[in-house]
Structures are given as C-alpha cells and as structure tokens.
Amino acid sequence: MHYQPDRGFQHPVASDITPRAVYEARRDCLRAVALGAAGTALGAWAGRDALASTAAPGKLAPLPGGRSSVSGATTMEKPTPYKDASTYNNFYEFGTDKSDPARYATTLKTKPWTVAIEGEVRKPGTFDIDSLLKLAPMEERIYRLRCVEGWSMVIPWVGWSLSELIKRVEPTGNAKFIQFVTLADTSQMPGLRSSVLEWPYVEGLRMDEAMHPLTLMAFGMYGEALPNQNGAPLRLVVPWKYGFKSSKSIVKIRFLEKQPRTSWEVAIPSEYGFYSNVNPKVDHPRWSQATERRIGEDGLLTKKRPTLMFNGYESQVGQLYAGMDLRKFY
C-alpha cells in the first residue's frame, strides 16, 4: 500500500501481489512452454509444491512448544513453507513492500527488551523478555493467518495464551480493553520515515477477546525464535482476525476503560474498524473478501479458496459477537 497526496491510500489488489518465488517459478514455466514442454513444466511445478519444506533453517534459537489442549489451536492444514512465511510480510516499520521486512529488519535489536504493563491493573510494571519467556509453558499452535489483502498462510506459532499474562497483572474492574504498542525507533526502523501511518503502531482488543484462550502471545514459529521480520521478540496472534491485528515487536500493553483507536482506524476509518474480524460476507470497499490465495501453495492453475467466517474459528469465538451487527462493527 502506498500513500499519494492527491489520491490517498492506494492498496494493491490481492491478485496483483505476487511473491518472488511464485514469480520466478511462473517465469520458468513460461520458458518451458516456449520450448514446447508445457506438460513437463506443470508437472515439475506440482512436484515442487509437494516437496516444499516447511522447516525452519535452524539459524535462530530453538524454541519448541508442547501440544496445546486449547480447542481449535491446531489446524490439520499443511503449514506454509518457512521461507514464504518469513519473506512475505507486512511490517510497515521496515517498509510497505512485502519483501522489505526481511530485507531491512536485520537492524532490529531484540535484546535487551522490555514490555511495560500500564493502566487499569493492580500490578503494573515492566517485564524483560527472559521473564516473559518463562511466564507460562510454551505451546505450539498451528493457526491460519488471513490478510485483508486476500492472501493467507498456515503458521506453527510458539507461545502461550495472553490470558496467562492478564491474570498475573490483575486487571481492575475498569479494564474493558487492552491496547498494544509496537516499538517505534527510527534508528532501527527505516519505515518510520514514511507517513503511511501514525507512529507508534497501536492495536487493541476487547477484554473478552484478549482473554480467549486462542489469543496468543507468540515468541517463536516453526520451533525457533521469531525472525525479526515476523515481529521478534514477541507479537500478538489473534487467529480469527485479519493479520494486521497481530501487533509485532510489542513494547507496551495498556489496560483501558475506553475503546482505543487503532492505527488503521486513524488512517482510514471508512475501511478499517476496531474489530477486524474475518468476515467473507462483508467486502472491503475496494475488493471482495470472499476468497483468498494461500501463499506458498498455489500453482498456476489453482483456484482461490473460499474464506471462512472468523477464519475458520467460528465455533470457538462466534459467541463473543452474539447479537452484534458485524457489518457495522467491522
């Protein structure tokens, strides 16, 4: 997405967003067609997909997680290859192109790292990253991640339910919402020079959403620590909401009485609301949300898959929104 003074925010259409690996494979296939070997090329494409490794390269600290007992915490869908999940990202603090985070996030320093707990809690304070890592047993959760732009992934995250932290800091009766604040350091994050959003990046959840056991504080993925471009050293993952709701590189968590305005609400309130629930029945003003393209999986002839209500987690979280008009509270 890019901002132009005379036209406002210009989002790329989902079908126009092509990962480098897909582009290169398509180019190879077209070359083979030109040589009269179309059938062979398409067969090679299918074989490439079938053999694609989902494993992490082993360059980061190992961070295994035990099996989770939380309902819906592990989808049976095939995980997205690590290479795709770690090189096709939205992290605007490092640039607006999908390849920018992997290219520029090497500047991010994740130690020392602290997270401040503020607002309507009986036990405010500051946690360092090492104490957070030990706060609760690590679990692996294989979640779908669906972006508003029309692409999706399946990622094995490692972390613990946010409710573990919430219970320890003891929210007061006035705490109705939680706000998450991402690091904003121009010396480490070149994307902060852009005016695409107001910085720091902030997101929020209603308290019952935050307390839901599926809501995850993630410290790793694919059995290793988070790569910088994926939100190291810790990020929020809320699997039934669009991906931009998952705050990265969190430095503050505030407990509030009133609903906070999120960064995307401030930037484009007509397009992005507070709730950000995946709802295929409600289109984005400029494109359909009814289908999605699975990154790292789709071949030349693969049709987009239908998007599921609440990203497929309706049976676990649908009751949180009973009686709400999900077209109004988008």
Q: Which residues pair with 217 in a beta bridge?
A: 160, 236
* Spatial distance between the Cα atoms of 219 and 234, rounded to a whole number of angstroms: 5
Supply the Cα-derived Rg of the chain in whole angstroms: 20
* Spatial distance between the Cα atoms of 162 and 143, rounded to a whole number of angstroms: 15
CB atoms within 10 A of CB 243: 22
Question: Taking residues 294-305, what's their average pLDDT?
Answer: 82
- Name the average pLDDT for the chain: 87
| Predicted local confidence at residue 300, as pLDDT | 63
> pTM for the complete prediction?
0.84
| Predicted local confidence at residue 112, as pLDDT | 97
Which pLDDT tens digit goes with each residue over 50-93?
Answer: 334 588 999 999 999 999 999 999 999 999 999 999 999 999 99
Query: Which class does domain 2-321 fall in?
Result: alpha beta
Please report, for the chain, the start and end positions of each structural domain, with discontinuous segments joined by +: 2-321
Which pLDDT tens digit goes with each residue over 78-133?
Answer: 999 999 999 999 999 999 999 999 999 999 999 999 999 999 999 999 999 999 99
Residues with Cβ within 8 Å of residue 187, at least 6 apart in sequence: 107
Contacts 24+ apart (CB under 8 A), 28-37: 29/300
Query: Cis peptide before 5, with omega less than 30 degrees from 0?
Result: no
Q: Rounded to the nearest 5 degrees, what angle is found at the Cα of 50, between the Cα atoms of 44 and 53?
A: 115
